[in-house]
Amino acid sequence: MEAASVLERRNFNGLLDALTARGYRPIGPVLEAGRIVYGPIQRDSDLPIGKTDIHDGGMYRIADRPDDALFGYNLPSDSWKQYLFPPHSRLWTATKSNGSFTVAAEEIDPPRYALLGVRACELAAIRVQDTVFTGAFPDRQYNAVRDDVLIVGVNCGQAGGTCFCTSMGTGPQLTDGYDLVLTELLDGDHRFLVRSGTATGADILRELPLTPATPADCAEAEALIEHVSGHMGRMLDTDGIKDLLYDNAEHERWDDVATRCLACANCTMVCPTCFCVTTEDRPTLDGATAERWRTWDSCFSLGFSHIHGGPIRTSVKARYRQWMTHKLATWIDQFGTSGCVGCGRCITWCPVGIDITHEVAAIRTEEAVHAHR
């Protein structure tokens, strides 16, 4: 690991300047109509200064902090997926000519994003999507955006009410995969402990007015991480999770969750690893051209499992089970990692507060009861 340095709060704009000077478009947390979302960042004043977020099942509120922290919240309502894997994209256009047609792939010239404030679980999620989109079937559009992305991670200074990254082994500390990582220190002088993880990150740091970190700075950062680790809002026991779910495909808990689940798909839309899409062909009325579009879809929609003859997952029970079993079990067989990074978004943003950690726990305890009978 690179040696740590200290960036004073008053010099934070220097970091933004260094990013824009390199042609990056910084995207980070912004306060918009009482919620923190990702948006363009030009100056430090665009950040949600002195604000925090409160998360619980189906509940989110913004609150004031007693300090002027720039990154004193946990997670915005949207995720980086919105930028790396946009909800709509045109894949190609076909044009009719001389009784035949030609197909032109979409030209891709994505902005060079600098993602500012990437949390440990979010970086883990990006890497899960990297595996999906760079594996056996590399996705042109995803990789075009991803290749140029610069990641400025920020370690969490608090745990959110629905967070369980420690359970999933993804946080709260960023360990690698970033260009730069910051820890916001608020004891005494407001400052950031910074480290680079790549040559680009190191180049950027060379331009900033930094001082070497003292052992006290490092100790403060470490204590913070330790505190966060010990205060997770949720917990998920992953021990033998694959077999647990495979063995309990007919568990009565699935019927129970189906009575509560709206099949609204919010959980999949907000999940930073969910990648399911549908494609639509849109011909013009005169038939001269046609476009193929790719749009976020969800395993909670009926059309998603429509094969010839009709949908195969007609019940909500089957759809919830598909979602959770894919996230936590079949994903491991498919991609070698869990599909869940423990960010808690699906819990917070489920309008009825259905909680993946509670659902797993219910299956586990009820299974134990069955086993001991």
Partner 1 sequence: MRKPKLAVWKFASCDGCQLSLLDAEDELLAVAGAVEIANFPEASREVLPGPYQLSLVEGSITTPHDAERIQQVRSESEFLVTIGACATAGGIQALRNWADVAEFTRSVYATPEFIDTLDTSTAIADHVTVDFELRGCPINKGQLLEVVNAFLYGRRPDIPGYSVCIECKRRGTTCVMVADGTPCLGPVTQAGCGALCPAYHRGCYGCFGPAESANLPALISELRRLEVDDATLVRALRTYNAYAPEFRAASDELEVTG
| Site residues (vs partner 1, CB under 8 A) | 32-35, 37, 58-61, 77-78, 82, 87-88, 259-266, 269-270, 280, 282-287, 295-298, 300-303, 316, 319, 348-352
Sheet containing 100-105: which strands, arranged edge to edge?
Answer: 100-105, 88-97, 289-296, 277-283
Strand duo 35-40 + 25-32: pairing: antiparallel
Report the residue number, 32 or 226, with the smaller CB distance to partner 1.
Answer: 32
> Is residue 54 close enough to count as binding ligand SF4 by CB under 6 A?
no
> Is residue 192 close enough to count as binding ligand SF4 by CB under 6 A?
no
Alpha-carbon distances, residue 2 vs 176, 180, 194, 308, 351 (angstroms): 11, 10, 9, 55, 43
Report the residue number, 195 or 251, with the smaller CB distance to ligand SF4.
Answer: 251
Report the residue number, 99 or 287, with the smaller CB distance to partner 1.
Answer: 287
88 binds, among partner 1, ligand SF4, none (CB under 5 to 8 A by kind): partner 1
Alpha-carbon distances, residue 270 vs 29, 38, 347 (angstroms): 16, 13, 10
Report the residue number, 16 or 270, with the smaller CB distance to ligand SF4.
Answer: 270
CB of 369 to ligand SF4, least distance (A): 24
User: How far is 142 from 122, CA to CA, in rounded Å?
Assistant: 16
Report the residue number, 126 or 193, with the smaller CB distance to ligand SF4.
Answer: 126
195 binds, among ligand SF4, partner 1, none (CB under 5 to 8 A by kind): none
Identify the CA nearest to 354 among candidates 222, 235, 285, 262: 262
Burial per residue of 166-197, b for 16 or more beta-carbon CB atoms within 10 angstroms, e otherwise: bbbebbbbbeebbbbbbbbbbeeebbbbbbbb
> Is residue 342 close enough to count as binding ligand SF4 by CB under 6 A?
yes
Tokens 């680790």, residue located: 229
Peptide bond into 110 cis (omega under 30): no
Q: Which of 253, 321, 345, 364 binds ligand SF4 (CB under 6 A)?
A: 345
Identify the CA nearest to 53 among candidates 32, 25, 27, 39: 32
271 binds, among ligand SF4, partner 1, none (CB under 5 to 8 A by kind): ligand SF4
The helix or strand, by DSSP H or E, that contains position 336, with its residue range, turns out to be none
322 binds, among ligand SF4, partner 1, none (CB under 5 to 8 A by kind): none
> Is residue 346 close enough to count as binding ligand SF4 by CB under 6 A?
yes
Alpha-carbon distances, residue 23 vs 42, 68, 111, 114 (angstroms): 13, 29, 9, 9
60 binds, among partner 1, ligand SF4, none (CB under 5 to 8 A by kind): partner 1
Segment lying near ligand SF4 (by CB under 6 A), choices 34-42, 131-139, 174-182, 334-342: 334-342
> Is residue 273 close enough to count as binding ligand SF4 by CB under 6 A?
yes
The helix or strand, by DSSP H or E, that contains position 127, with its residue range, turns out to be helix 120-134
Report the residue number, 49 or 264, with the smaller CB distance to partner 1.
Answer: 264
> Is residue 264 close enough to count as binding ligand SF4 by CB under 6 A?
yes
Alpha-carbon distances, residue 149 vs 40, 45, 111, 201, 247 (angstroms): 14, 23, 9, 12, 41
Report the residue number, 214 or 284, with the smaller CB distance to partner 1.
Answer: 284
Interaction site with ligand SF4 (CB under 6 A): 261-267, 270-273, 300, 327, 340-346, 350-352, 354, 356
